[in-house]
Amino acid sequence: MQPTSNQDDFLRLIDQNKGAIIKVSSLYTRRKEEKDDLFQEIIIQLWKAWPNFKGQSKVSTWLYRIALNTAISGLRKKKTDIIYIDGQDFPHITDSDDHREKEEKLKSLYDAIQQLPEIDRAIVLLYLEDKSYEEMEDILGINQGTLRVKMNRAKEKIKKTIQTMAYGT
């Protein structure tokens, strides 16, 4: 058991970064219970790694590495049936007047990203989180040139998927 002040620091860190953990959980699962399990597993892995975090890298880099490693390399059962997430299963828009329209767009975005391979999903997530290519390289271990190529390709795929979902073409 780690000291309470250490635990308090950790809980504060999680509180500040809950959103990022939810986004990772939502991108790598389709069902509500799977998402909750993944969220919980990420918290456990972060807590296990917390005593060894000495600030060698940025907190966000450390957090995304653990969250993505947990999501990507987990041996979860393969679900072959495609279930589109409903409004309850992804993070909601906050502080916005036209939130309904925005939530629709967000839902389409989640659906489109989930159709990408696991690694591309991580790249898109970090891009949307406004991470620099340098930090993306630091998190994923993929060189920046490859990241840029992959990102451009993912953008095209997402655009096409959203168009197909919207207009059926």
Tell me the three state secondary structure of residue 29.
Answer: coil
For helices 4-27 and 99-114, the axis angle rounded to 10 degrees is 80
Burial of 122 (0-12, 13-18, 19+ CB in 10 A): buried
Tell me if 74 contacts another protein by CB under 8 A. yes
Tell me if 139 contacts another protein by CB under 8 A. yes
Please, which residue, 83 or 116, has the CB nearer to another protein? 116
Please, which residue, 19 or 83, has the CB nearer to another protein? 19
**For residues 29-58, which are near another protein according to CB under 8 A?**
36-37, 39-41, 43-45, 47-49, 52-53
**C-beta neighbour count of 109 within 10 angstroms:** 16
Tell me if 73 contacts another protein by CB under 8 A. yes
**For residues 89-108, which are near another protein according to CB under 8 A?**
90-96, 102, 105-106, 108
